[in-house]
Amino acid sequence: MKDTAIYGVSSIVGRFLNWCLVPMYTYLFAAEQYGIVTNIYAYVALVLIILLYGMETGFFRFANHERWDNPMQVYSTTLISVGTTTIIFVALACLFSPQIAQALNCGDHPSFIWMMAVAVGIDAYSSIAFSYLRYKKRPVRFATLKFINIGLNIGLNLLFLIVCPWLQREAPGLIDWFYDADFGIGYIFLANMLSSMAIMLMLLPELRVNYSFNSRLWREMIRYSFPLLILGVAGIMNQTIDKILLPFLIDDPTEASRQLGIYGANYKIAIVMVMFIQAFRFAYEPFIFDKNKESGGDKRQAYSDAMKFFVIFGLFIFLGVMFFLDLLKYFISPRYFSGLQVVPIVMAAEFFFGIFFNLSLWYKLTDRTIWGTWFSLGGLAITLAINIIFVPHYGYIACAWAALCCYGAMMVASYLIGQKKYPINYDLRRLGLYILCAGALYGIATLATTDIEIVNYLLRSLLLVAFGALIWVKEKPLSRHSVKKTE
């Protein structure tokens, strides 16, 4: 649990700190420029999964495999494999960076492409070294390097985007030799690349091994890891395909980048729900596997209770964000406010994904993980269809609805099939009551909005308290029953 907490904190805090850069980007750059950033990072997320092709998990499996008693050879083979494919990718991306930049609507800046290619290549290779730290049970060094990476990235962003422009006005002679104000969003990518390179240097102790390549081991690892690549690609595309497709579905490239920038910035407001799900995942997966070892008959009830409390906290987060969106919206520049309409849709979509993750325990506990692939591929088909059909007519709002339909369908399918394969008695009536009440309170808050902000905040605070009171009244008898049972 201590190791899980350290890994979890480094991941969640890292995501939060990088999230804090978004206001700076939206206040400094126009929507069409931020749209290019959103688009490139969507590709980066997908490329990183492809460059790892499941070898992180493959390393853990074969380093602990009963037939392979030399974990260092497994580590070495994994490093050589990922390193070779990464070098090929980076070389090709740099070679064709002008053509790729043209396709991604940043044709004047092929440097954007090769900088991110180098950064993602280094991140892929470094991921294996980070996996080795996890294998050696060194969470403190793992978390320390992650935090250093985050700190460098944020520090370089502040240097290039805040400090350097100020120095250019006050003392231009200090920075004229390296700083170019016209490079703009390019400094976001440069900061990413430099911080990745620095961490690579810090990982050199983990990379100094006796390199040897076992071709037979490698073939077995590829056979094991390839299905994980399919699952990983399908999963990440469900999250990023809308940001990849949108520029190709709107005829005017400038308008496409503008819409993508607005959509990407407002999507970040909903990341509060994403971080809650991420935190829940770190606690939930160890919980379900540990609970599964117990011989008692109440473990399925524990899974049902976990779902209930996830829904309760998820709904609190949804209502909290939506009730006070008039304040939270200043997280981004007013130039992006036209996209606030996507926030409740994206919040609901992420909430559905969280429920789907809860439901996924049935195929994890029964070793039927292939169902996870089918659900992801089915969701991807829905996302593709809705984006392709509706984005050309309705723009980025269709992307948000596609995410909602995708995760909603995955949630329903996992529940229906899971109840046949591994039935759990979820209290659907109570869960439905909470969801309907949250929806009704959101509707009341929307309809009762006045021109007086203090009145709006007071009313919404009372509605949030009312929802809490409902939870307290409904759950208090259960708490009393639990206390009596314990006594």
DSSP assignment string, 372-438: HHHHHHHHHHHHHHHHHHHHHHHTHHHHHHHHHHHHHHHHHHHHHHHHHHS-----HHHHHHHHHHH
Residue 486's pLDDT is what?
A: 42
Q: What angle do CA 361, 364, 288 make, to 5 degrees?
A: 50
Determine whether 428 is exposed, middle or buried from the number of CB atoms within 10 Å of its CB (0-12, 13-18, 19+): exposed
Residue 285's pLDDT is what?
A: 63
| pLDDT by residue, tens only, the chain of 487 residues | 566 667 667 777 777 787 889 999 999 999 999 999 999 999 999 999 999 998 988 888 788 776 777 889 999 999 999 999 999 999 999 999 999 999 888 878 999 999 999 999 999 999 999 989 988 888 889 889 999 999 999 999 999 999 999 999 888 888 888 899 899 999 999 999 999 999 999 999 999 988 889 999 999 889 888 877 888 888 889 889 999 999 999 989 899 999 999 999 999 888 878 887 877 776 676 666 666 666 655 778 888 888 998 899 999 999 999 999 988 899 899 999 999 999 999 999 999 999 998 888 888 777 677 888 899 899 999 999 999 999 999 999 999 999 999 999 999 999 999 999 888 899 899 999 999 999 999 999 999 888 888 999 999 999 999 999 999 988 875 444 444 444 4
Residues 445 and 337: their CA atoms lie apart, in Å, by: 19
Q: 397 phi and psi, to 5 degrees?
A: -60, -30
Q: 68 phi and psi, to 5 degrees?
A: -125, 105
CB-CB contact of 59 with 129 (8 Å): no
Residue 8's pLDDT is what?
A: 67
Residues 376 and 233: their CA atoms lie apart, in Å, by: 9
Largest CA distance in the chain: 75
Residue 480's pLDDT is what?
A: 47
Contacts for 452 with CB less than 8 Å, ≥ 6 apart? none
Structure-token pair, residue 154:
């944020």
Residues 218 and 237: their CA atoms lie apart, in Å, by: 27
Structure-token pair, residue 185:
């969003």
Encode 440-461: b = buried (16+ Cβ within 10 Å), e = exposed: ebbeebeeeeeeeeeebeebbe
Contacts for 106 with CB less than 8 Å, ≥ 6 apart? 36, 40, 112, 113
Residues making up the chain, counted from first to last: 487
Residue 289's pLDDT is what?
A: 62
